[in-house]
Structure 1
């Protein structure tokens, strides 16, 4: 009994250069209920496979032109689930076995017993159906895995955003206690991101630096409030205590693996180019670039923000002051980035001030 496809009887292709064999096989298979096409050569078979859906192929091993052994991989490239049965003489059994290694299902030795042919076709069609079902299941599983992976990534991204937002609330609450530092972290974050962009860092690195800027002072949660609120200069012991905020911040954020790169920047944003900074006394390019950017942005914000012990400094004066620190406290290349950003910002302000509207 022939195996039927969901859309009707299975379509078979008989490929043999001997017309009597083609005709006999086509007649038998048609009577058995299959839909049969025939080809006298490998080239003709490929043409048929290219224009119509074929479920199974009976293929002679030895043919002029494209041989059966060469036709197998070409046919499977056109129709990956094609069930191929090789037709061979007794002396070609080794060649037929090689065809099976290339993807053929079975081989039948001429003269062909029609009962054996019918059984072999049924086995081949069932095997083909199983292969197609397995492929569909594998594709479904692959799609499901991809969907779940995408969902996990979205959930992780949402969790990371919520985590950062929660930490920012803590920073904002800390800064809200001091009118002189209110908004400091947000300004440092924005300026740092602009400098990073000026230095042509990747979008990913820019966002890491922006995040580090928002959270760079979170360690001040562990600093005594009377020291943070002190109006005058700090004593040496008090200053040493304040310096602990970078370590405390690193410890607070350490469990959050997705903030690893930002934590590296936060820990080192008080390092100096000449090695006189803290906490590790790093020098030059041993200081992470993101930390060098945060450090110069923080200096600029400190100079351009009113403090109990100093007046607010105009932006161009602050740049001139920091220029004296290039190569000493700050990275000269990062200073060049800051200078370009502030010059562009001042140009925009000038244009806005002169807008006739």
Structure 2
């Protein structure tokens, strides 16, 4: 709140009736405010120029400059001014007009002192919040101006911060299942490598990496009994599991800056031949990031130990994926993955115990 050098909040009472003016001034002084008074709009403007007023209580009906006309003039002098209007019972229309012009609230005469006290505190609190927002906005503008050269890096930093909690949730979810532990991290790293191999930009590669970290966030909504089931899923259970891509995209939807990451999470179980889910997209209708995630996830499933299967070597996994190229997997993505595996000879992943395995 704006205050004088002593720290006291300054209030201005504007009313052409001296008894009301004095009564309001006495009450507010008892509330530890420093109170000034004006009997007209012209006098009020002089007081506003002379003092750092935080709150103005203003009558609507006054000779000369009315309260309705005083409001915008007062705000022009003191843009941070909180204004409470005092109105007669039959003058609600004028009070509403004052609020359209910048007043915060109005009280109907005769005024109960308890109501006045609460209204004053509400107005000052709202003013304080508006000031904080204004100061924050000003700070943000200054930061943008002085850090334009760093904007791209800062944006990436903010994106990482915004998804950190969701990544922690994914890690906590996977930690419950020794076979799934580290799955999203592995898929993210492999997907980013594939994205680079197919020629995506550095920014797009980073988006694919983030999408990989978050691609199974929707499994938070999948029943644990289904997640942990070792045998084949029933049709109903499979339909339940398929919902995780929709749940995931809904969880991420409020983070609008994620953009294409959300569509990648939604579409990572689409198939090249159009038989995937949830939307039955075909071929290049499927976002490239989703196609990459889908291939990386299948590779990870084949090349890591699962309750229902032994893990394959990287070469064996690539051979198995060759049968899926052109039906489940985008052939271009398969070729990139095969190139990566062939170049490395093997892909080093985090094993179930947290160490390195080949």
- TM-score computed with the length of structure 2 as normaliser: 0.55
Structure 2: 5+ residue stretches without partners? 1-140, 349-358
SS at match of 1:161: helix
Distance 1:237 1:202, change over 3 A: same
Query: Residue deviations 1:303-336, cap 9 Å, x none?
Result: 0111111111111011000001111111111100
CA distance in 2, matches of 1:237, 1:312: 27
Q: Residue 270 of structure 1 aligns to a residue in which SS?
A: coil
- CA distance, structure 2, for counterparts of residue 234 and residue 193 of structure 1: 31
The 5 Å alignment of 1:71-150 reads: 146-147=145-146
The equivalent of 1:56 in structure 2 is none
After TM superposition, give the deviation of residue 163 of structure 1 in Å. 1.7
> Aligned partners of 1:145 and 1:185: how far apart in 2?
34
Distance in 2 of aligned mates of 1:144 and 1:339: 45
The 2-side partners of 1:144 and 1:165 are apart by 23
The answer on 1:237 being equivalent to 2:230 is no
Rounded to whole Å, the distance in 1 between the matches of 2:146 and 2:285 is: 41
The residue correspondences of 1:266-277 to structure 2 (distance < 5 A) are 266-277=265-276
Of structures 1 and 2, the larger Rg is shown by: 1
1:341 alignment partner, SS class: helix
Residue aligned with 2:345, SS? helix
Aligned counterpart, 2:305: 306
- Counterpart CA distance in 2 for 1:203 and 1:155 is 15
CA distance in 2, matches of 1:312, 1:340: 20
Instruction: Measure the CA separation in 1 of the matches of 2:143 and 2:323.
Output: 59
In structure 1, what is the equivalent of residue 280 of structure 2? Answer: 281
The corresponding residue for 1:47 is none
The alignment status of 1:323 with 2:332, answered yes or no, reads no
CA shift, 1:154, in A, is 6.9
* Structure 2 counterparts to residues 1-357 of structure 1, below 5 A: 146-147=145-146, 157-346=156-345
The Cα of 1:208 is off from its aligned counterpart by: 0.5
Take 2:217 and 2:143, find their aligned partners in 1: how far apart are those partners? 40
Note the aligned Cα RMSD (angstroms). 2.2
CA change 1:348–1:144 in 2 (3 A) is closer
Counterpart-to-counterpart distance in 1, 2:144 and 2:183: 44
Secondary structure of 1:180's counterpart equals: coil
Q: Is the 8 A contact 2:187 2:296 kept in 1?
A: yes
C-alpha displacement of 1:147: 1.2
CA deviation map 1:128-162 (0-9, x unaligned): xxxxxxxxxxxxxx988621667887765443222
Distance 1:193 1:150, change over 3 A: same
* TM-score normalised according to structure 1 size: 0.55
